[in-house]
A and B are shown apart, each in its own frame.
Chain A
Amino acid sequence: DAGVIQSPRHEVTEMGQEVTLRCKPISGHNSLFWYRQTMMRGLELLIYFNNNVPIDDSGMPEDRFSAKMPNASFSTLKIQPSEPRDSAVYFCASSFGDRETQYFGPGTRLLVL
């Protein structure tokens, strides 16, 4: 079975541009998480969806960040406008139930110049 799929794997953009990160969770999983990893802050939860509904978005840094899950097999994380401090690795993870093992994707490495 395929694991969590993320695209793109790498993204380089200029400050002010819109960035969209994509995630396909493992089939059958009903919980989806977006994380951000930086050297300074480590791995932080941005938002959590259960059955396609956002349950906890308290980790979303500010209004420039938004996330959607239109169906069980697809989610997006959008940054508009992007800023250099958004540079990080963004991970998507999914699980079968919110208390079960989370399986992480390979991440999207974002660099905002």
Chain B
Amino acid sequence: TQLLEQSPQFLSIQEGENLTVYCNSSSVFSSLQWYRQEPGEGPVLLVTVVTGGEVKKLKRLTFQFGDARKDSSLHITAAQPGDTGLYLCAGAGGSNYKLTFGKGTLLTVNP
């Protein structure tokens, strides 16, 4: 069974601060996705990383896939209250339709 551990589980910061959340596994994934979920809504895909060592940027968000394709990180620069939400990572194995989700990091950015 492939497991994804996300840390921290909860994070509360002030507007303007930087933060990094982590997604770790002992398994290798063919790709890894990051989602953001807002209260009362379903997860929305932010990015997919495929290549080991890959770095993708989405405005103030930077995503990195580990060299061994077992872990990933999400860094947010100058966090804003609109960044508040549950950040989920999900790994795809051999059968790419089957995503293994972490339990998420609940981020609160206070104004």
Q: Which residues of A contact B (CB under 8 A)?
A: 4, 31, 33, 41-45, 48, 50, 55-56, 91, 93, 95, 98-99, 101-107
Contact pick for A106, options B41, B45, B97, CB 8 Å = B41
- The size class of the interface chain B forms with chain A is 10 to 19
* CB-CB nearest in chain B for A3: B42
Q: B residues within 8 A CB of A31?
A: 97
Q: Looking at the assembled complex, report how far the CB atom of A88 sits from the nearest CB atom of chain B, in whole angstroms.
A: 13
When the two chains form their complex, are residues A42 and B101 in contact, meaning their CB atoms are under 8 A apart? Answer: yes
Q: What's the Cα separation between A42 and B45 when bound, in Å?
A: 16
Q: Looking at the assembled complex, report how far the CB atom of B95 sits from the nearest CB atom of chain A, in whole angstroms.
A: 8
When the two chains form their complex, are residues B97 and A42 in contact, meaning their CB atoms are under 8 A apart? Answer: no
Q: A4-B42, A105-B42, A106-B41 are in contact. List 19 more A-B contacts (CB 8 A).
A: A31-B97, A33-B97, A41-B103, A42-B88, A43-B43, A48-B97, A56-B95, A56-B97, A91-B42, A91-B43, A95-B97, A98-B96, A98-B97, A99-B92, A101-B45, A104-B42, A104-B43, A106-B40, A107-B40
Q: B residues within 8 A CB of A105?
A: 42
Q: A residues within 8 A CB of B91?
A: none
Q: What's the Cα separation between A103 and B35 when bound, in Å?
A: 11
